[in-house]
Amino acid sequence: MDRINRLLLENKAWAQSKVDIDPQYFSKMAKDQTPQFLWIGCADSRVPPSEITNTDPGEMFVHRNIANLVVHTDTNMLSVLQYAVEALKVPHIIVCGHYNCGGVKAALMQQSLGLIDNWVRNIKDTYFSHKFEVENFKTEAERVNRLVELNVMEQVKNLSHSAIVQKAWAERQVPFIHGWVYDLNTGILKRLVTVDPNSNVDSAYHYKF
């Protein structure tokens, strides 16, 4: 119970610290949100998006799942994406993976883990597509970390293949999509890829509106 009480006490102290600086902090915050970023990240507890980017409440709309996947049948992720793009009109989407990701590690294993196999299967498909490249690395850590990068790039591609993103590109020339990876050992984010609204999408995935 002490651990739970700690959270509530810390929350009180945090709220007070905000009010001490600006008495209107919460009344202003409660009115509306105009975040500039949608963050799609891993659920891993060591990669808290606001903290590692030093952003305040209201700045970032967040969706997290195991291994930061963009799966085109995931209505949870798609609802977040649609709301962020169409209602909040975020100009930037960031897909952020992290090295040594447990979800990606699981995709490189043959051991069945139960239900989660079906989620991890999405990463296995990326592994299979790049098997030669991934298996060229000597150590398991290197193989995991390369697949982490390839997985991020795949999810960026998945976003660009969605009708939600393509419709916004056609109408408003946003959002930009950024693929990043976070290094747990240094705390540093690395850019992998940026996709701008004029990018070519393969005709198989290209929608007309």
Q: Return the active site residues.
A: 42, 44, 46, 98, 101
Return the number of other C-beta atoms located less than 10 Å from residue 183's C-beta: 13
Backbone angles phi, psi at 66, to 5 degrees: -70, 120
Q: How far apart are CA 108 and CA 99, in angstroms?
A: 14
CB of 9 to Zn ion, least distance (A): 29
CB of 65 to Zn ion, least distance (A): 9
Question: CB-wise, 154 or 164, nearer to Zn ion?
Answer: 154
Question: CB-wise, 147 or 165, nearer to Zn ion?
Answer: 147
User: Hey, what are 106's tokens?
Assistant: 């699981």
**Of the ranges 9-17, 25-33, 41-49, 150-158, which one interacts with Zn ion (CB under 5 A)?**
41-49
Closest among 32, 22, 84, 82 to 58, alpha carbons compared? 32
Residues 6+ apart with CB under 8 A from 130: 147, 150
- By DSSP bridging, strand 176-183 and strand 60-65 are unpaired
- C-alpha of 157 from chain center: 13
**Of the ranges 21-29, 38-46, 116-124, 180-188, which one interacts with Zn ion (CB under 5 A)?**
38-46
CB of 144 to Zn ion, least distance (A): 10
Q: Which of 38, 40, 42, 120 binds Zn ion (CB under 5 A)?
A: 42
Q: How far apart are CA 61 and CA 49, in angstroms?
A: 10
Question: CB-wise, 105 or 157, nearer to Zn ion?
Answer: 105
Question: CB-wise, 6 or 46, nearer to Zn ion?
Answer: 46
Interacting positions 48-77 with Zn ion (CB under 5 A): none
Closest among 125, 122, 209, 126 to 165, alpha carbons compared? 209
Q: Which of 39, 44, 157, 175 binds Zn ion (CB under 5 A)?
A: 44
Q: Classify the C-alpha dihedral 162-40-108-142 as positive or negative.
A: positive
**Count of residues interacting with Zn ion (CB under 5 A):** 3
Q: Which of 38, 90, 93, 101 binds Zn ion (CB under 5 A)?
A: 101
**Of the ranges 31-39, 44-52, 118-126, 174-182, which one interacts with Zn ion (CB under 5 A)?**
44-52
CB of 100 to Zn ion, least distance (A): 8
Q: How far apart are CA 126 and CA 119, in angstroms?
A: 13
Question: CB-wise, 101 or 153, nearer to Zn ion?
Answer: 101
The residues that touch Zn ion, with contacts defined as CB under 5 A, are: 42, 44, 101
